[in-house]
Amino acid sequence: MNKIPTVFLRDPADRGRTLDEVHPQCRWVLDGEGTPTRKYDGTCVLLDEDGVWWARREVRPGRPRPPGYRPVDTDEVTGKTVGWEPIANSSYATCHVEAAASLPAGRPGTYELIGPRINGNPERVPTHRLVRHADADVLDTPRDFAGLRAWLLAHPQFEGIVWHHPDGRRAKLKHRDFARD
């Protein structure tokens, strides 16, 4: 689980805004490669190959890591380490129990945990659910800065877009990357 780069570079004077300048690692998106999918607004969880559930956890510099934490990557700019903690240790544990109970047969991979007690329920679902990232809704979106800005501002119900390249690369763009313009 590495941090997914944003398609466009961020404004150094205001990191909440994006510039009309493609991120070098994401040129493939504007070249028409990859599949755009809906980015759900929840919290990321992982079902590993052994059938064990993990919650995504970010640890700030100087803070202790929780018991059982598995670090994955550290952001060079912020110093934050992202990794996985056992779902039972997560503040979302009870929400996950509810969501997992309605999941037929969980397939290994990452999921978005959404629901009434997750981030204020921006997805507006009545119960907690798990959405498998590999099964996210495929979108028909433009591939240029102005077009993507207009598309995202016209779809405020979506947190954003994640593009999936056949070779495993991913790129993202969030509604909030443009909402402050």
Indicate if 109 and 51 belong to the same structural domain: yes
Indicate if 141 and 59 belong to the same structural domain: no
Indicate if 48 and 92 belong to the same structural domain: yes
pLDDT for the residue numbered 66: 94
Indicate if 59 and 118 belong to the same structural domain: yes
The residue from 135, 155, 173 where one domain ends is 135
Indicate if 51 and 73 belong to the same structural domain: yes
Question: Which CB contacts under 8 angstroms, 24+ apart, belong to 13-22?
Answer: 14/180, 16/176, 16/177, 16/180, 17/177, 17/178, 17/180, 17/181, 18/173, 18/177, 18/178, 20/145, 20/146, 22/145
**Regions of the chain where pLDDT drops below 50:** none
Range of the domain at 18: 1-38+136-181
pTM: 0.84
pLDDT for the residue numbered 58: 94
In the chain, the number of structural domains is: 2
pLDDT per position as a tens digit, 59-95: 999 999 999 999 999 988 889 999 999 999 999 999 9
Indicate if 91 and 121 belong to the same structural domain: yes
